[in-house]
Amino acid sequence: MKKIINSAKAPKAIGPYSQAIEVNGTLYISGQIPVDVSTGKFVQGGIVEQTHQVMKNIGYILEEAGYSYKDVVKSTCLLSDIANFAEMNKVYGEYYKEDCPARAAFSVKDLPMGAMVEIETIAVK
């Protein structure tokens, strides 16, 4: 059975998609960008601050669905500039310290609203 997950703490979807969908104990979180829901704007700063905000947004959605970072099995990281990979990776590692999820990282031409980073996530219970 498909369940739509929405967290008021994370940014609302900016298109025809859901923040997350849960199906049979698997949570699929749509790509999150560094919008701070309290301001409706990107968090101030560069790739470090943007990655922290993306990870917080993922955390809010995980929490709303009853999951945690420990349940994450796969992430896909999209970067507007691959030169930002090392700094993004360092921040990402602060959220996954052991039993890290599988991951892919790509550099793309552009991200929504000019973001430097977008991360989509899959978690399983």
Determine the Cα–Cα distance for residues 42 and 17; give it in Å rounded to an integer.
20
Could you state, in order of their start, the residue ranges of all structural domains in the chain? 2-124
What predicted TM-score, i.e. pTM, was given to this entire model? 0.96
Q: How far is CA 38 from CA 14, 46, 51, 72, 109, in A?
A: 16, 19, 17, 25, 28
Per residue of the chain (125 residues), what is the pLDDT tens digit?
A: 899 999 999 999 888 999 999 999 999 999 999 999 999 999 999 999 999 999 999 999 999 999 999 999 999 999 999 999 999 999 999 999 999 999 999 999 999 999 999 999 999 99
CATH number of the domain at 2-124, please? 3.30.1330.40
